[in-house]
Structure 1
Amino acid sequence: MSSFERYLQDKGKGRGGDGGNYRRNAARELERFAEWAAGQRGADDWTGIVPADADREPAFEDLDERVFREYARHLSGDRGLKQNTVQTYYRYISAWCGWCVNEGYLEAHYAQRASAMAPLPEDDGRKPGDQQAWTSEQRHALTRHVDERAREAIETYTTLPEDAAPLDRQRARYTALKAARDRALVFVLAYTAVRVGELLRDPNDPRRRGVRWEDIDLEDGSMDVYRKKQQWDAASLPDPVISPLQSYQKIMDPPTERWPVFPTFDQRTLAELVQDELADRGERLDAIGKRRNEYARDLLLALDEDIRPPSITTDGARSILQRLSEAAEIDIDHPKHDYLAPHGGRRGMGEVLVRAFGYTVAARYLDNSEEMVRERYSHIEAGELGDVATEALNEIDPS
């Protein structure tokens, strides 16, 4: 498929995106997936994903969750692959699928659907403590990176000369808005321990439409979110999060409080939204084109006309964090993720809270039962008990 090379260039290292271990490994698995999709791999009776009456190569229109379920079943077959290996191979294909959604090739992240992943082997028994959790060093590196980018972009915008061309001013504002949004998102994920599904839009659940400005109280330091337990609840906004949100809100200046805090910046989505809304308001097609030409980006026109865009999705947040993790050159050694994943921010904050204040306080902040928190962070208690045992042995047998 022609999208493979573009995807690999985006993921590759060095000039032109031609290098890097991830690119090399992903290229190998994508080639295998393409061969399987064309019927050149798999069982003897496997003919590929193209309908039997169609004489052509596999195309995006052939992909849905059933295809990825079949591929998961193919990987999980009796090929002698270890559980971790099957999971790793599938993740390469899933990551490409997510990229295709962001690029507009696919309508949904089919590879991440529960039915698609069902044939994959069960978790191999890694302890909860082995799941990704942002370390203090990683958290500081990422927040420092997005803070520097946002400060630079905002300063560039706010110090433009008064006679700057309108489009130049708009471009500078857009760049500042995007950097400020990224900073606010990273700080919220890093310090609030809110689940990413509670913060952003879930296309499959209309109740999860993404946090709006009306849900945030920066003076009280709280944010209303729709919790995993299917009810609205207040989450805490600690001090490190307040300033990035205030700065971001100021530069965005949302026309109403019903605007999403983290709107999509996807140009295709915004273009369709602006055109449809202005047409619904009675504007002619040529007038709409003229209006859009007056703006560097459709997002800025949407702000001026109060055309409310949707929030970014959880998949969108993962793409943003992949981009930022790579730009910040953060050292990540994890079997599942080559970037700082959203849930890692929550788990990292859980580590901090358990170590500093114990399981009861951590459970309240994480909106979990104490029993679940003890299970998820059992490695911390095990380490502490090990220290107690060592101390006891030194008391009894100081030699």
Structure 2
Amino acid sequence: MTPRERTDQSLESSFERYLQDKGKGRGGDGGNYRRNAARELERFAEWAAGDRGSDDWTGIVPDDIDRDPAFADLDERVFREYARHLAGDRGLKQNTVQTYYRYISAWCGWCVNEGYLGAHYAQRASAMAPLPEDDGRKPGDQQAWTPEQRHALTRHVDERARDAIETYTTLPEDADLLDRQRARYAALKAARDRALAFVLAYTAVRVGELLRDPNDPRRRGVRWEEISLADGSMDVYRKKQQWDAASLPEPVIAPIRSYRELLDPPTERWPVFPTFDQRTLAGLVRDELADRGTRPDAIDELREGYARDLLVALAEDVRPPSITTDGARSILQRLSEAAEIDIDHPKHEYLAPHGGRRGMGEVLVRAFGYTVAARYLDNSEEMVRERYSHIEAGELGDVATEALSEIDG
């Protein structure tokens, strides 16, 4: 079939092939995506034919032509009008509008690859302009760490920290001082990364409550004085603008305790997760020691005696800043790659911090229900039900399937 012949085809003539390509199982007949995409394609076809929309909407086919909407009728203006149609439906939430449009946009992209269309009109800026802002909060759209991903990450950081700590603690007594310091630094970094990964994986604490936000001076990162391993709790500055206790479940306690023993912070006011950025620490050490009246030559001599400025900061109690929320993302990118974790997500190629929180939400809702999950996540039960509505929908689907089988059986 020539490109010209394809552009003359009706829109609906492509739907079944597209859905088979996107479906699951033998013949592409199954899967939630196929079902949802089929619904939205049907709605788009009805709108294109003039059967949906305002009273004066007659569809995309010229009034003097009697045929079904075809690919030759599509351009970016059509998709812009459809985006305006979706955005004007007051019964749809902003995120739902975005989701519905994405189904049509994905089909449009497939049509380009298959030769039905010459360009991906749906992705052009002018076509998408009427769409509302997307706040990224739609159920099922945010990344959620699966149990397999959580275990792969925590297993990797645990093995890495154990190896680094063993290397440091088994150095011979006559080892060179700088070699010993380098080994301690490597162990500290691995132990910090392990503790951070475990906290993000199991506590469901928001990364902005745990680490420093450069744009909010109140969020300076959790300090050791705010952690009680005996009680299994940690004080954090919550999203609701007040301090509150967050739980530290059992898997988190040992990594934090091991890390603290190795770090041996000079005071309880040290951040739990300090930055290891060499440039930041070098400037901080110089400035702080100079403010204390130490001469520049003495500062240089002191720094030359240590393998890293973090170790100078520990020895001299020069308190570093906490890593930032962006720093945590960089760490998780590095760890996800090193652990070779399989990640299939449209927005993130690594285990993003919020995915740990959302993954724990999945676990808690499935195990204990929405009320308990809401308390642990520090959210209202209503919000948790909305965010994890796909779980309840799946469970209700199972109930309906069982009921039907009993009746039909």
Q: TM-score, normalised by structure 1?
A: 0.70
Give the residue type in structure 1 aligned to 2:175: A
2:397 matches 1:386: yes
Which 10-residue stretch deviates more, 126-135 or 137-146? 126-135
**Residue in structure 2 matched with residue 40 of structure 1 by the alignment:** none
**Cα distance change of structure 1 residues 120 and 224 upon mapping to structure 2, 3 Å threshold:** farther
- Counting only pairs closer than 5 Å after superposition, residues 1-399 of structure 1 correspond to structure 2 as 122-123=133-134, 127-398=138-409
Q: Give 1:131 shift.
A: 1.6
Please list every run of at least 4 consecutive aligned residues from structure 1 whose deviation after the TM superposition is greater than 3 angstroms. Answer: 80-84, 118-121, 124-127
Q: Is the 8 A contact 2:223 2:268 kept in 1?
A: yes
Distance in structure 2 (CA, Å) of the matches to 1:180 and 1:126 = 33
How high is the sequence identity, in percent, across the aligned residues? 87
Q: Give 1:394 shift.
A: 1.1
Task: Tell me the number of residue pairs that the alignment of Structure 1 and Structure 2 aligns.
Answer: 291
Q: TM-score, normalised by structure 2?
A: 0.68
Distance in structure 2 (CA, Å) of the matches to 1:253 and 1:124 = 41
Q: Give 1:395 shift.
A: 1.4
**Cα distance change of structure 1 residues 397 and 120 upon mapping to structure 2, 3 Å threshold:** closer
Q: Give 1:126 shift.
A: 8.2
**Cα distance change of structure 1 residues 215 and 336 upon mapping to structure 2, 3 Å threshold:** same
Distance in structure 2 (CA, Å) of the matches to 1:169 and 1:119 = 61
Q: What SS does the aligned partner of 2:303 have?
A: helix
**Cα distance change of structure 1 residues 131 and 248 upon mapping to structure 2, 3 Å threshold:** same
**Cα distance change of structure 1 residues 130 and 231 upon mapping to structure 2, 3 Å threshold:** same
Task: Supply the RMSD in Å over aligned alpha carbons.
Answer: 2.4
Distance in structure 1 (CA, Å) of the matches to 2:350 and 2:363 = 20
Distance in structure 2 (CA, Å) of the matches to 1:119 and 1:279 = 56
Distance in structure 2 (CA, Å) of the matches to 1:131 and 1:306 = 40
Distance in structure 1 (CA, Å) of the matches to 2:280 and 2:395 = 50
Q: Give 1:122 shift.
A: 2.6
Q: Give 1:205 shift.
A: 1.0
Distance in structure 2 (CA, Å) of the matches to 1:196 and 1:125 = 16
Q: Which runs of 5+ in 2 are unaligned?
A: 1-75, 84-97, 103-128
Q: What SS does the aligned partner of 1:129 have?
A: coil
Q: Is the 8 A contact 2:137 2:387 kept in 1?
A: no
